[in-house]
Structure 1
Amino acid sequence: MKKFTQDELENFNRHLQGIPPAEVIQWVIDNCNRPVVTTNFRPYEAAILHACADILPTIKVIWCDTGYNTPQTYRHAKEVIDKLHLNVKLYMPLQTAAHRDALFGGIPQVDHPDHIEFTQQVKLEPFQRAMGEQDPDVWFTNLRKGQTAFRDSIGILSYSKDGILKVSPFYHWSDEKLDNYLAAHSLPNEFKYFDPTKVLTNRECGLHA
């Protein structure tokens, strides 16, 4: 995918604000070579997975499973994967949760020195390994305005720390609009989700900021 200047990125973001997600995805797919979509099967993830797979059924879906998901999330993931026939590329930490819990004594609090290493092991390393192996030129994600202070500062198009074009087609959508999207496409949702690296819903995990 062509590398955009900051001015081009800002112009695109202004233009794309009112464009339907499916049209944004189609435009990007038509102009890139190695797109991926990432997911952790948190609430409303079924929307971005459906929207991307509807346009490119073979798109690679990177799932970095921390090993600490709730039973509800694992069941939800299976339901969405089966329903949408997703091409999932699963990545997990190099250590098991039991091994890590023995070393850390459980999940470290966010203000504990061990939390940095914990986050590296369960989220950042698997994600970096996934992106290195899949080598995408475009990264679809379901970031939305209003989730965190950092996410409020980007747009539908932004660049990752590694220079990969991130595309967030539902960036300006509210929960209500996403509820309607899920209902219209008979897609499930699941709210019993837990991210051991964030704890607080408005805290960045390190993949994006």
Structure 2
Amino acid sequence: MSFGVGSLDLAAANAELRNLSAEEIICWTMALGETAMGSTSFSPNSAVMLKLLTDNAPNAPIVWADSGYNVADAYRVAEQLIELLKPNLKIVTPEMTAERRNALMGGVPHPDDNPDLHKEFTRQVKLEPFNRAIAEIQPKIWFSGIRKEETEFRQSLDILSWDKRGILKVAPIFYWSEDDIEAYMATHKLPSCRHYFDPTKVADNRECGLHTSA
């Protein structure tokens, strides 16, 4: 039965979902009957959420905000995963090319050296393209691959949380460990890039802004 996200008791729903598998969480969410989307960065092990979504919510668009700054290995594995899983992928890119931006900004700014310039860099290469996709799709639900153990900010969240944009964010693998991720990758023989660098995060324990900004 479709009853939408507006009537959800988040605390009760989270308590219920903690006992379900990632596949069951996705199916439970899709039963809400609202427009849903996923997102990917094609970072290492992104294949986990890509497979979970293509298997259990194949029609949901999956947004890839391609900053233009991925390394070659990440782009090659992204193509492998696109061919293998055939996600309903929506690719969005910055309005300015990487070369033009590098010329104007003097290269990729580091958040510790110039926080304001790095914030503007992040807005241009990730937040603006992603928000453009949000405006087009107008989802009520956003499937995300975030996990509790990844950053301090994410430890304050749960499987279900409200995004600042007013979207219900659903994290089916929120309580998975790194061992869980590796086991799933191995079981399904999914490719993962060996080299990856996100200039909007710099370090793995930083947030890139998608989950903290409106």
TM-score tier after normalising by the smaller chain length: over 0.9
Q: Which residue, 165, 169, 177 being the options, matches 1:166?
A: 169
Indicate if the aligned counterparts of 1:42 and 1:191 stay in contact, CA closer than 8 A. Answer: no
* Aligned partner of residue 146 in structure 1, secondary structure: coil
Which runs of structure 2 are paired with 1:32-181 in the superposition (5 Å)? Answer: 32-111=33-112, 112=114, 113-181=116-184
Unaligned runs of at least 5 residues, structure 2: none
Indicate if the aligned counterparts of 1:32 and 1:138 stay in contact, CA closer than 8 A. Answer: no
Following the alignment from structure 2 to structure 1, what is the Cα–Cα distance between the partners of residues 97 and 175?
A: 37
Indicate if the aligned counterparts of 1:36 and 1:139 stay in contact, CA closer than 8 A. Answer: yes
Bigger mean CA deviation after superposition, 13-22 or 140-149: 13-22
| Pairwise CA distance, 1:177 | 0.9
2:195 matches 1:192: yes
Runs of 4+ in 1 over 3 A off after TM superposition: none
Deviations 1:137-171 (A, max 9, x none): 11001000111111000001011111101110000
Residue correspondences, number:
207
Indicate if the aligned counterparts of 1:36 and 1:60 stay in contact, CA closer than 8 A. Answer: yes
Indicate if the aligned counterparts of 1:76 and 1:189 stay in contact, CA closer than 8 A. Answer: yes
Amino acid in the other structure paired with 1:156: I
Following the alignment from structure 2 to structure 1, what is the Cα–Cα distance between the partners of residues 44 and 172?
A: 16
* Aligned partner of residue 64 in structure 2, secondary structure: strand
* Aligned partner of residue 62 in structure 2, secondary structure: strand
Q: What is the alpha-carbon root mean square deviation over aligned residues?
A: 1.2
Indicate if the aligned counterparts of 2:148 and 2:175 stay in contact, CA closer than 8 A. Answer: yes
| Pairwise CA distance, 1:87 | 1.3
Q: Which residue, 185, 191, 200 being the options, matches 1:182?
A: 185
Structure-1-length-normalised TM-score: 0.95
Unaligned runs of at least 5 residues, structure 1: none
Deviations 1:49-99 (A, max 9, x none): 111110122221100000000101101111111101111110000000000
Indicate if the aligned counterparts of 2:5 and 2:168 stay in contact, CA closer than 8 A. Answer: no
Following the alignment from structure 1 to structure 2, what is the Cα–Cα distance between the partners of residues 204 and 4?
A: 30
